[in-house]
């Protein structure tokens, strides 16, 4: 990740660059759809495995290039693969390195994983409370089974992934509006689209609502345990 950053690759992972090169990218995708999708899956999986920042932007780019359905499906596969790689590495002899990196943050997650690992991991996937890389590492530290990890990850990232893919798929209309007001701005790299403007408070509220819903099984279990104890 540091090498990629040093070489300046992050400078090309921007909405401005995507907009400026959209015609060339669209032409390549239309002529090489399968190759482009496979390359996208590989790039996304590697980015997740290396904890590279900008996953949301990559998802938006995927929606912009492939449409929400293909992009969303490809992203779910890629993100699950990349996350699983981190999980397996964290469970290996290199796990101590990840534990040191996680530091005190990981202790905040301990009780949740001990109560109900699947529901808690599902909650963490659905809500952007903790960094994505930390949510990838913590289950390995707390010895969450691989099947539980993969299942909760696969289900938990679906809503957010398709939401951002929808945003990307609708990006063309935003660019068209700016082109109408400022002809030639896309090719000149002068169209300005802020990521924050695309991610609405309503979208974030929906993520949190889904996250709260995922904790219902944990709450019901506690209620049953209290009833049995009394």
pLDDT tens-digit profile, the chain (230 residues): 434 433 444 455 677 777 778 788 889 999 999 999 999 999 999 999 988 877 888 998 999 899 989 999 999 999 999 999 999 998 886 766 666 666 666 777 888 888 889 988 988 888 777 788 888 988 998 889 999 999 999 998 988 888 888 888 877 777 776 766 676 666 656 666 665 656 666 566 656 766 676 666 666 566 656 655 55
The answer to whether 123 touches 213, Cβ cutoff 8 Å, is: no
Contact, 62 vs 74, CB < 8 A? yes
Split into its structural domains, the chain has a count of 1
Q: Collect all residues with Cβ–Cβ distance below 8 Å to 55 and sequence separation of at least 6.
A: 44, 47, 48, 79, 132
Helices (H), 103-190: 110-115, 117-126, 132-141, 146-156, 158-169, 171-181, 185-188
Q: Quick one: CA dihedral 71, 206, 10, 20, positive or negative?
A: positive
Contacts of 61 (CB under 8 A, 6+ apart): 18, 168
Give which of 9, 98, 117, 122 is closest to 58, Cα–Cα.
Answer: 9
Residue 186 structural domain? 2-229
* C-alpha–C-alpha distance, residues 130 and 149, integer Å: 16
Written in H, E and C, the secondary structure of 94-106 is CHHHHHHHHHHHH
**In the prediction, which pLDDT does 110 show?**
80
What pLDDT score does 70 carry? 96
Q: What is the pLDDT of residue 3?
A: 42
Q: What is the pLDDT of residue 42?
A: 95
CB 138 within 8 A of CB 148: no
Separation of CA 167 from chain center: 14
């Amino acid at each position: 990740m540091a090498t990629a950053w040093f070489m300046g690759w992050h400078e090309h992972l921007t909405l401005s660059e995507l907009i400026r090169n959209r015609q060339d990218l669209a032409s390549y995708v239309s002529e090489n759809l399968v190759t482009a999708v496979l390359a996208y899956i590989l790039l996304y999986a590697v980015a997740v495995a290396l904890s590279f920042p900008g996953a949301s932007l990559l998802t938006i780019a995927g929606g912009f290039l492939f449409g929400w359905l293909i992009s969303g499906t490809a992203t779910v596969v890629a993100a699950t693969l990349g996350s699983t790689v981190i999980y397996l590495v964290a469970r290996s002899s290199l796990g101590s390195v990840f534990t040191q990196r996680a530091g005190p943050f990981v202790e905040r997650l301990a009780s949740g994983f001990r109560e109900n690992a699947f529901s808690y991991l599902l909650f963490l996937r659905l809500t952007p409370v903790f960094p994505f890389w930390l949510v990838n590492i913590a289950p390995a530290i707390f010895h969450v089974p691989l099947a539980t990890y993969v299942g909760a990850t696969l289900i938990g990232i679906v809503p957010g992934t398709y939401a951002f893919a929808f945003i990307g798929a609708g990006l063309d209309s935003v660019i068209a509006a700016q082109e109408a007001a400022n002809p030639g701005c896309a090719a000149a790299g002068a169209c300005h689209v802020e990521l924050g403007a695309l991610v609405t408070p309503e979208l974030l509220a929906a993520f949190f609502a889904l996250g709260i819903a995922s904790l219902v099984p944990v709450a019901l279990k506690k209620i049953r345990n209290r009833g049995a104890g009394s």
